[in-house]
Structure 1
């Protein structure tokens, strides 16, 4: 959720960010289960877990582009880049904390984004090959670490959970805040750093090359489909689902239906078979590999579609260039809608917000301007970066 100088922008990356924005908006507004049933809606099947993961991957691409693209910066320039990213991360985190005070059912991602930028700083000087190795290891191993850590952490932290979006007051219970952000919350940084690393690896490639764009689509689809097939094999013929149905929470919830929508509220402990599921936001190896593959394929497709005609995806790329502002407006609008005695028709509410976002994005594009929050973050980050450079001269 950040911007870069117009000369360095790739319209396809903005378009992919726009897909993520509208996908997340859809999951926030539309029902994820068919009313009166436990059957997943098309919204859940298309966007649940994938849209927010696409945001994380594109954020990693942005970090790579900010630090040199295919040729990572070194020494003093990299130090200045890191200072700018640090300031950017702190501002985004503060915006997330401010939005967390609104009454809304949305799991706001911005504070976690800020933390993800901070923990990604040590990786900003690496090339594509090294990032690919780190990303692969992180996607496969961090869920195992999380599985081992969650029970003892949950048992020792008091209170055991935030119970809501992070706000400034939660710094009074730092252990609970840290546990939620890194391990037990909706967007656990421990596992989600792998998605940012995937994005950073992608951002180190020659993204304007046709071969790279085709490889992103083909490789992404292969990874996404392969992860689902592996999960299905482990849960079905492998006996994993039958074992999970014998666990306390597996027998309490409609687990088979929830695998298509998400396992929110389910205690994923007591059986190693939980690591075989690929449900949205499960944070398991199949889930992370699947959503990372989907994100890579979307990025590659958007780059392909805008290769010859950069404006062909303008309804996506224009709002995608100012997602920090538009996401914040969306959260505020949903907070207001949630307080109404009679909720508007969800589909109408979604389309109104999408059309407003597209209109605002195109307007700012025509004015050759960034969104207000993008100006704030980029301006502060740029000043911090230039300050480091000036002191080094």
Structure 2
């Protein structure tokens, strides 16, 4: 298998997040598929934290470049997300919330990326404070709904009161990813990686079970402390597991089977956009019917995963990724760090 300049395990985790997203949005049944509801958004958030940590420790960008790069990246996500939400309303588009997360997370990552213990402490405090902020923000919206301008209501929802996503819930997850970046190389070694994944999954289940015994619960998207902690642990296990599964597949000589998932991870912004555009087209053809069906899930998966795979094979890049890179400031990698050049894409 040729060596790439990407960190392939992280691309595999992004690809997993995209596939999990499709299942969460479109799967018509629950059962084991409900795991996607707990995993998708937290996995995107944790990957953002991991990416920032790797960029800071292995690429060593200047502070100005790092902040500018992530400000631009965040604004692209916000603008694109708002536009896609207008195109298709049956899905709560997560991109604006992730864009806001990127903008807020960048200045926090600078002083924290080499201090994993402090980062985990801040993440834990944010997980507790985030639920308090959520409750207070929703109460404020209920009390002042008629008097607030639309833009003010939107900001409050993006930051703290959103029904499915909100900054105060995603931020602890990204901080957990930032801490994970400091031990990622060791945690993904085969001898220890499987034990680490098992421990994280057990801890995640324990957090959810403890949360279910409290009045606040631990349902997906709820933003309770138990849900945020459980989701962060689950997503961290998924990141490490993605590295391990990819390495195992390559050792067995079947790594090429995962190429479509890797392409989807590398072109995750294009993947999200393809999903929304295809679902909007399906809605025009079929009319305003529910989109959670096996046919829609299967056809959308083929379009998104197959489309990203073809884009990368034929063009080497997706259209959205091409645009972002064309407008991104140019940096020169430090010698010996070329392999992680694009971990923050």
Measure, in 2, the Cα distance between the counterparts of 1:145 and 1:206.
Answer: 27
Measure, in 2, the Cα distance between the counterparts of 1:151 and 1:290.
Answer: 19
Partner of residue 274, structure 2:
329
Q: Are the structure 2 counterparts of residues 233 and 307 from structure 1 closer, same or farther at C-alpha, using a change threshold of 3 Å?
A: closer
Q: How far 1:362 moved relative to its partner?
A: 2.2
Partner of residue 247, structure 2:
307
- Count of residue pairs brought into register by the alignment: 321
Is the contact between residue 96 and residue 109 of structure 1 (CA under 8 Å) also seen in structure 2? yes
Structure with bigger helix share is 2
Alignment of 1:1-393 (within 5 A): 7-32=4-29, 40-44=30-34, 46-69=35-58, 73=60, 77-126=62-111, 128=113, 130-138=115-123, 140-157=124-141, 173-185=150-162, 186-205=164-183, 207=185, 209=186, 212=189, 215=192, 217-233=194-210, 235-236=212-213, 240=214, 273-274=215-216, 277-307=217-247, 309=250, 311-339=256-284, 340-341=286-287, 346-367=293-314, 369-382=316-329
Q: Which runs of 5+ in 2 are unaligned?
A: 333-345
Q: Are the structure 2 counterparts of residues 134 and 317 from structure 1 closer, same or farther at C-alpha, using a change threshold of 3 Å?
A: same
Q: CA RMSD in A?
A: 3.0
Partner of residue 244, structure 1:
none
Measure, in 1, the Cα distance between the counterparts of 2:292 and 2:166.
Answer: 32
**If the length of structure 1 is used for normalisation, what is the TM-score?**
0.72
Measure, in 1, the Cα distance between the counterparts of 2:103 and 2:72.
Answer: 9
Measure, in 2, the Cα distance between the counterparts of 1:158 and 1:235.
Answer: 26
Larger-gyration structure (1/2): 1
Q: Which runs of 5+ in 1 are unaligned?
A: 1-5, 33-39, 163-170, 241-272, 387-393
Measure, in 2, the Cα distance between the counterparts of 1:216 and 1:133.
Answer: 23
Q: How far 1:127 moved relative to its partner?
A: 5.6
Measure, in 2, the Cα distance between the counterparts of 1:301 and 1:231.
Answer: 20
Q: How far 1:120 moved relative to its partner?
A: 0.6
**If the length of structure 2 is used for normalisation, what is the TM-score?**
0.81
Measure, in 2, the Cα distance between the counterparts of 1:97 and 1:234.
Answer: 33
Measure, in 1, the Cα distance between the counterparts of 2:174 and 2:256.
Answer: 27
Is the contact between residue 216 and residue 297 of structure 1 (CA under 8 Å) also seen in structure 2? no
Measure, in 2, the Cα distance between the counterparts of 1:345 and 1:151.
Answer: 30
